[in-house]
Amino acid sequence: MRILITAFDPFGGESVNPAREAMNLLPPEIGGAQMLKLELPTAFGEAGELVCREMDRLRPDAVISLGQAGGRKAVTPERVAINVADARIPDNRGRQPVDQALVPGGPAAYFSTLPIKVMVERIRGEGLTGEVSNSAGTFVCNEVMYRALHHAAETMPHVRCGFLHVPYIPQQTAEKPDAPSMALEDIVRALTAAIGALEEKG
């Protein structure tokens, strides 16, 4: 099995992105599956185009995208991506779309095709906090999830796609005393456990 793993560069004034840091620390193989790692720009349009292009080039069996969700305490597999870009803050190119369709005429939403409930069970089995999330937001994270699922549905329906958000790491919360965080090594453990769930159906 070949799994395309993506994560974003830092955004929103942060100097690090815990999703990218964790992706880079994942082993080259998990449960016999090869990890194909890809850094994405936090940029509307560019990120979605790049993940679709790499899906065509690499022909993976699954696509798992990672992102930062500051304020969350758990690693959260996302249930659904919606066909809307509505940015609270500008992306890293200064773009800030409002109520724009990601794919004009495309479906309103796609559900993750990853075994999200099994992923949460695996994360909790490591003694870590995992929860299913019902909103991937309307920023670039949601775009990448939606575009990957749309591309798979249109051209490679056997490919499973989805998204996991991770919390801040402690160094990001020095000036955010009320924000929850998770140690980077624990995020890596959680993601490793979640990725291992792809051997099961769910």
The encoded tokens of residue 29 equal: 């193989």
Give me the number of domains the chain comprises: 1
The whole-number mean pLDDT for each consecutive block of 10 residues of the chain, a chain of 202 residues, reads 97 94 97 96 97 98 97 97 97 97 98 98 97 97 98 97 97 89 97 91 44
Give me the pLDDT at residue 199, please. 80
Contact 113, 161 (CB under 8 A): yes
Give me the pLDDT at residue 201, please. 47
Task: Give the domain extent around 29.
Answer: 2-199
User: Measuring CA to CA, how many Å separate 14 from each of 4, 41, 154, 171?
Assistant: 25, 14, 35, 10
Residue 90 belongs to a domain with what CATH number? 3.40.630.20
Give me the pLDDT at residue 200, please. 62
Residues noted as catalytic: 78, 141, 165
